[in-house]
Structure 1
Amino acid sequence: MQAKMEQRSFIAALLLVSLAFALLLKPFFTPIFWACAITVIFYPVYRLLMQRFPKWPNLMALLTLVLCVVLVVIPVLAVASSFVNEAVTLFQKAQSGQIDLSKQMEQVRSAFPGINAFFERIGIDFDQLKERILNWLMSAGSFIAKNAIALGQNTMNFFLMLGLMLYLTFFLIRDGEWLVDLLIRALPLGDERERLLLDKFAEVTRATIKGNLVVALTQGTLGGLIFWALGLPAPLLWGVAMTLLSLLPAVGAAIIWFPAAIFLYATGEIVKASVLMAFGIGVISLVDNLLRPILVGRDTKLPDYLVLFSTVGGLMMFGISGFAIGPLLAALFMAFWQIFMREFMGSHAQAGEEPAAVDGS
């Protein structure tokens, strides 16, 4: 009896200490997550280097980290900085009247007289819609400008988090296999289940970051390049916007380039509008269908509706990191239920089993 009470007391104390430690690490959740994600992506590089130079694990881990910084961290910082600068400049021009958004929307209405009739048919007043869009654009520009100032004031904090992420990444790359084995021994879920969940974490992280992000970056880059080639304003800003929107299923980069093409038609730029429309349909929109099956794989892909809701929910809850965290949580949710169905509801409730077709005869 006393032994059982001591065991329960120890488990309660263990949970309490673990919860306190988790709260202690809460401010560092983002760098810890990205350290784990980067390790998953770049660990095959470290393993390849270790096959050639097995006696120098520290040096190979450092070399892998340097490769990560050169290929990922520096380009992301450069693009983010340019994006914020272009967004602030565009917002200031709109605020000062150099860019008259209201006039440009009126040009679109004049060029396409059927717009009013279309919106009236579906019960939307075009003037009210215009005001809402203008207010939203100004609010978005103001938000970016304010956050740019806040980021400048918190530069030290940003680079501290970046340094912590890179520092942790080094040790996760070097000691990854040992840490995974330690985690499997420590967790009381059963070794097979734990390996399945860790495999799912690695699989979805690679699919989301290496796959979906590469597809989104490709679409955003192509969109930014065609905007630049056609002489449209702020091509980097719109390229980054298309990259972010390409992360969302059923949304995509078309929400940027299609209205831009319509505006060019409205202002008489027929050749530019036609080039942009053809490039958007024939190149940008096809990238998803061509690259995603190669980089992600249909067998690891979550349903599009689940990806959409989990991505948007992740962005709302975790900020920009949510595009990866949201689908990851959705995949782990699915994995836990798959294990439950397989082990506790019998062999007929297998994970991923397609519903039987209904015979209508």
Structure 2
Amino acid sequence: MNSISNNAIRQILLLITIILIGIVLFIHLKIFIPAFLGAYTLYVLMRKYMFILQGKHKWNKNLAAAILMLLSFLIIMLPILVFANMMTSRIAFAIEHSSELLTSIQDFINKYEQRYGINIITDENIRRLSTIGAETLPKILGATFNTLTTVVMMYFILYFMLVDGRKMESHFYEWVPLKDENILLLRRELNLLVNSNAIGIPLIALLQGLVALVGYIFLGVEEPVFWFVITCIAAMLPVVGAALAYIPLSLVFFAEGNSGKGIIMLIYGFGVVGVVDNVFRFWLQKKLGDVHPMITVFGVIIGVSMFGFIGLIFGPILISLFLLMIKIYVNEFSQRTGSNDIPVK
């Protein structure tokens, strides 16, 4: 009994030490959580190709990792660079024609003030806008710097994940204190969820953008490709989604006196583009990872607030992981549940 008690005490003390060190590390390294999650997402997507290049084609692991990272960087950054180039040209044009732009905005606002009898341009509103602008600019600059830092750290972590992938997975199997079938279940479900969100969300956004592009061309929207890119980016955001693109376009039509086009834009946006999101998003994600629509919606909302943009992927995964761990707990410790109650597909 004394030996058992001593072992129990040493085990408890060791666990407390591990937990305390883990808390300290988490507090000081939590800013890198989005980078780690992004690296894990890319690792899941590229793991198979890394093993093929190493095993089948006998590539050096460092070269294979570098090539895969470069390709992923180009695939991820190319749309961002295209969007940045579009925005840069428009910002330069706006600065060059700032006086004309301000006059157009003022005329636009005056039309709505006269039509609906409201006052938008007031000293109070101008003061509030100035305050918001002064507060927002440092946040934008800080977010830009944080994003660049996250990307650098993400690829730094990803490199070691790819190079030491087999060793990392072997340690995972050894260190996780679960039954073998539950470890396999955990890994399989995580991989399915990552693929479902990492592939499904951009794919649905692209589909919405293409559907919206048809409407933009039909209605004669100026620079439809630019608005197509805006729609794709907005479609990945929770709650409002692609409406951030087609509602401003409808307002522009109304301001120009094209009420018919404005109404058609709203009907097409909510009735067609919105349906693409509401139907195909849930169908595709359930098809890829058997993700319930409620998990998708609430997961995106929670994930964005916790992790930023990468939370679009890991928010639903977090909720699904919580439910999965409950199943695994029941399988591990419930006396009325056998070891084969949770099938590994």
Task: Tell me the TM-score normalised to structure 2 length.
Answer: 0.73
Percentage of pairs with the same residue = 20
- 1:99 and 2:105 equivalent? yes
Aligned 8 A contact 1:93 1:99 in 2: no
Moved over 6 A (4+): 87-95, 128-131, 133-143
CA distance in 1, matches of 2:335, 2:127: 53
Aligned 8 A contact 1:201 1:332 in 2: yes
Aligned 8 A contact 2:111 2:255 in 1: no
CA distance in 1, matches of 2:330, 2:231: 40
Q: Secondary structure at the match of 1:296?
A: helix
- 1:8 and 2:12 equivalent? yes
Aligned 8 A contact 1:313 1:326 in 2: yes
How many residue pairs get matched?
330
- 1:243 and 2:229 equivalent? no
Aligned 8 A contact 2:208 2:231 in 1: no
One of 20, 39, 45 as aligned partner of 1:41 = 45
Aligned 8 A contact 2:192 2:288 in 1: no
Structure 1 match to 2:75: 71
CA distance in 2, matches of 1:105, 1:305: 39
What's the CA shift string for 1:101-149, capped at 9, x where partnerless? 5335447x66xxxxxxxxxxxxxxx959999x99999888766644344
Structure 1 match to 2:208: 219
Displacement after TM superposition at 1:187 (Å): 1.9
Aligned 8 A contact 1:193 1:339 in 2: yes
Structure 1 match to 2:64: 60
Structure 2 match to 1:303: 292
Unaligned runs of 5+ in 1: 111-125, 352-361
- State the one-letter code of the partner of 2:139: N
Distance 1:23 1:95, change over 3 A: farther
Higher mean C-alpha displacement, 81-90 vs 94-103: 81-90
Distance 1:271 1:129, change over 3 A: closer
Aligned 8 A contact 1:216 1:243 in 2: yes
- 1:186 and 2:175 equivalent? yes
Structure 2 match to 1:339: 328
Q: Secondary structure at the match of 1:248?
A: coil
Displacement after TM superposition at 1:280 (Å): 3.9
Aligned 8 A contact 1:201 1:328 in 2: yes
Q: Secondary structure at the match of 2:158?
A: helix
Aligned 8 A contact 1:248 1:311 in 2: yes
What's the CA shift string for 1:272-326, capped at 9, x where partnerless? 5477457646863464478647853437243323322221222223222222221
One of 28, 32, 53 as aligned partner of 1:28 = 32
CA distance in 2, matches of 1:296, 1:87: 37
Q: Secondary structure at the match of 2:257?
A: coil
Higher mean C-alpha displacement, 85-94 vs 337-346: 85-94
CA distance in 1, matches of 2:130, 2:160: 44
CA distance in 2, matches of 1:93, 1:79: 25
Displacement after TM superposition at 1:199 (Å): 2.3
Q: Secondary structure at the match of 2:164?
A: helix
- State the one-letter code of the partner of 1:47: F
Displacement after TM superposition at 1:342 (Å): 5.2
- State the one-letter code of the partner of 1:308: V
Aligned 8 A contact 1:87 1:237 in 2: no
Displacement after TM superposition at 1:31 (Å): 1.3
CA distance in 2, matches of 1:163, 1:225: 37
Aligned 8 A contact 1:257 1:276 in 2: yes
- State the one-letter code of the partner of 1:20: V
- State the one-letter code of the partner of 1:147: K
Q: How does 1:283-302 map to 2 (within 5 A)?
A: 284-285=273-274, 287-288=276-277, 292=281, 295-298=284-287, 300-302=289-291
Structure 2 match to 1:324: 313
Q: Secondary structure at the match of 2:325?
A: helix
Displacement after TM superposition at 1:331 (Å): 1.0
One of 157, 166, 169 as aligned partner of 1:177 = 166
Unaligned runs of 5+ in 2: none
CA distance in 2, matches of 1:346, 1:136: 63
Structure 2 match to 1:230: 220
Displacement after TM superposition at 1:223 (Å): 4.1
- 1:19 and 2:11 equivalent? no
